[in-house]
Amino acid sequence: MMSPYTYSFLLSLLMLFLTLYFIKKRMLEFKYSILWIITSLFMIVFSTHKELTDLLAAMVHISYPPAFLFVTALVFILVLIFYLTLVISDVQKKMTKVIQEVEIIMSCSEKGEQK
């Protein structure tokens, strides 16, 4: 039977390789993949250093150290979601501005044609 640490290590390694693969294939921009890479690396470190995971779990009063791996991954995913929400908000603002500018240009060109 596989230990939670081994399972977490394998999943983290898989996530790291998938992230790097998608960067290489240009399906994922590097600036958006940084948090995925960091998350994978942290999870690999926590999975391979049981003593560190046990110590950190005890510091935050988590009695089952593998649960600390889950909580850590969850926190990183929440940070990633927040970051992507900021990116989406910025893109939305830029899109609204472009739509308004296109509308102004179209309005001006229609007025020019009517004269």
In angstroms, rounded to a whole number, what is the distance separating the alpha carbons of residues 52 and 78?
23
pLDDT tens, position by position, 13-39: 999 999 999 999 999 888 888 888 988
In angstroms, rounded to a whole number, what is the distance separating the alpha carbons of residues 80 and 73?
10
Q: Is the distance from CB of 66 to CB of 5 less than 8 angstroms?
A: yes
**How do the domains of the chain map onto residue ranges?**
4-114
In angstroms, rounded to a whole number, what is the distance separating the alpha carbons of residues 53 and 50?
5
In angstroms, rounded to a whole number, what is the distance separating the alpha carbons of residues 51 and 56?
9
pLDDT tens, position by position, 85-108: 999 999 999 999 999 999 999 988
- The DSSP code for 3 is -
